[in-house]
C-alpha cells in the first residue's frame, strides 16, 4: 500500500490509493516451511504480502516465519486475546518480525485494546520500525446467532460486529478484519479512515470451497475493503502467480 503510506495516513486521512497488487495478501495456510517458501518465491512481486497464522507460526516459530517470508510484507494473524499485560507483551515480541498488520480480538475489552495500541506504538518506536496496522477481530465468521447466545451474548452477530468495531476504533485501533457482508455497514459506521481487512474473497472463476459468504475481489474493493486476504484461489492454482495477476487485473 503502501501499507506504510496507509499506516501513516490512519491518523492523517489522506493517502494515495493502493495499487491492486498492494491490496492482495495471500494466506499461507500450511505447516510446511518449504511449501510456504515456495509460494512466497512464486508470488513475490505479484502480491502485496502474505498472511501467516497460528498454523505455520506454531509449527515453525518466529524463525520459520522469517525464513518463509524472506522480507516480504507480513500480516501476522495470531489474534491475541488475553489479559492486557500479556497481549501487550505478545505484541512487543511480534514486532520483532516487522509485520505490516497484527491483530487482536476486540472482545478482549477496552483495557486490553488500549494496552495493545500502546504496546505497538512503543515497540515500533523502540525498534525504530514502521508501526504496523493493529486491527481487531470482531465476531468470528464461524459463529452464528445461536453460538453467540450459547456463550452469553444476546446481540445478533451483525450488531455485535458493529459494537466491537466501534469499540476498537474508540480504543485507537486502525481497523478490523471483517467478512465481505460486513464491509458496507462497517464503512458507514466507522468512516473512510478505518481499515477493513477482508478474507472470504473468491474470483468468479474460482471454487468457493468451504467459504459460504464470499464476494469477488472487485465487489469487495468497491464496497470499501482496503486489504483482500486470498488463500486457495491463489495457493491451489496450477500457476499461483498467474492467478494473482488475474485478480490484480480484475481490480485494475
- The residues carrying an active-site annotation are 79
Kindly provide the residue ranges of all beta strands, DSSP E only, lying in the chain, ordered along the sequence.
Answer: 24-27, 49-53, 74-80, 101-105, 133-137, 175-177, 195-198, 227-230
Q: Does 24 bind ligand C5P (CB under 6 A)?
A: no
Q: Does 46 bind ligand C5P (CB under 6 A)?
A: no
**Residue 235 C-beta: closest distance to ligand C5P, Å:** 7
Looking at the Cβ atoms of 64 and 231, the one nearer to ligand C5P is: 231
Ramachandran class of 208: left when φ > 0, alpha when ψ lies in -120 to 50, beta otherwise? alpha
Q: How far apart are CA 230 and CA 199, in angstroms?
A: 6
Per the CB < 8 A criterion, the answer to whether 170 and 201 are in contact is no
Residue span binding ligand C5P (CB under 6 A) among the ranges 95-103, 104-112, 164-172, 229-237: 229-237
- Beta-bridge mates of residue 133: 101
Residue span binding ligand C5P (CB under 6 A) among the ranges 41-49, 88-96, 123-131, 226-234: 226-234
Q: Does 199 bind ligand C5P (CB under 6 A)?
A: yes
- In the list 5, 8, 9, 29, the residue contacting ligand C5P (rule: CB under 6 A) is 29
Q: Is 235 helix (H, G, I), strand (E, B) or coil?
A: helix
Cell output for 166: 466501534
Residue nearest ligand C5P, CB atom distance: 231
- In the list 1, 231, 246, 247, the residue contacting ligand C5P (rule: CB under 6 A) is 231
Residue 230: half-sphere exposure toward Cβ, Cα within 13 Å: 39
Applying CB under 6 A, which residues contact ligand C5P? 27, 29, 53, 141, 177, 179, 199-200, 211, 229-232
Amino acid at each position: 500500500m503502501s501499507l506504510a503510506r496507509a499506516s501513516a495516513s490512519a491518523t492523517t486521512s489522506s493517502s494515495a490509493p493502493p495499487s491492486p497488487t498492494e491490496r492482495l495478501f495471500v494466506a499461507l495456510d500450511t505447516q510446511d516451511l518449504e511449501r510456504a517458501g515456495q509460494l512466497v518465491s512464486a508470488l513475490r512481486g505479484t502480491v502485496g504480502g502474505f498472511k501467516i497464522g497460528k498454523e505455520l507460526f506454531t509449527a515453525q516459530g518466529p524463525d520459520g516465519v522469517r525464513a518463509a517470508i524472506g522480507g516480504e510484507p507480513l500480516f501476522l494473524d495470531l489474534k491475541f486475546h488475553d489479559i492486557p499485560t500479556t497481549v501487550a507483551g505478545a505484541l512487543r515480541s511480534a514486532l520483532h518480525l516487522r509485520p505490516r498488520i497484527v491483530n487482536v480480538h476486540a472482545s478482549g475489552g477496552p483495557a486490553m485494546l488500549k494496552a495493545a495500541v500502546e504496546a505497538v506504538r512503543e515497540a515500533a518506536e523502540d525498534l525504530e520500525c514502521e508501526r504496523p496496522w493493529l486491527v481487531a477481530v470482531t465476531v468470528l465468521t464461524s459463529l452464528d446467532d445461536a453460538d453467540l447466545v450459547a456463550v452469553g451474548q444476546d446481540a445478533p452477530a451483525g450488531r455485535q460486529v458493529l459494537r466491537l468495531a466501534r469499540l476498537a476504533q474508540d480504543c485507537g485501533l486502525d481497523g478490523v478484519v471483517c467478512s465481505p457482508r460486513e464491509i458496507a455497514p462497517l464503512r458507514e459506521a466507522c468512516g473512510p479512515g478505518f481499515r477493513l481487512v477482508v478474507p472470504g474473497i473468491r474470483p468468479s472463476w474460482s471454487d468457493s470451497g468451504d467459504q459460504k459468504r464470499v464476494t469477488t475481489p472487485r465487489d469487495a474493493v468497491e464496497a470499501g475493503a482496503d486489504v483482500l486476504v486470498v488463500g486457495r484461489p491463489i495457493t491451489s492454482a496450477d500457476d499461483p502467480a498467474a492467478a494473482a495477476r488475474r485478480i490484480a487485473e480484475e481490480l485494475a
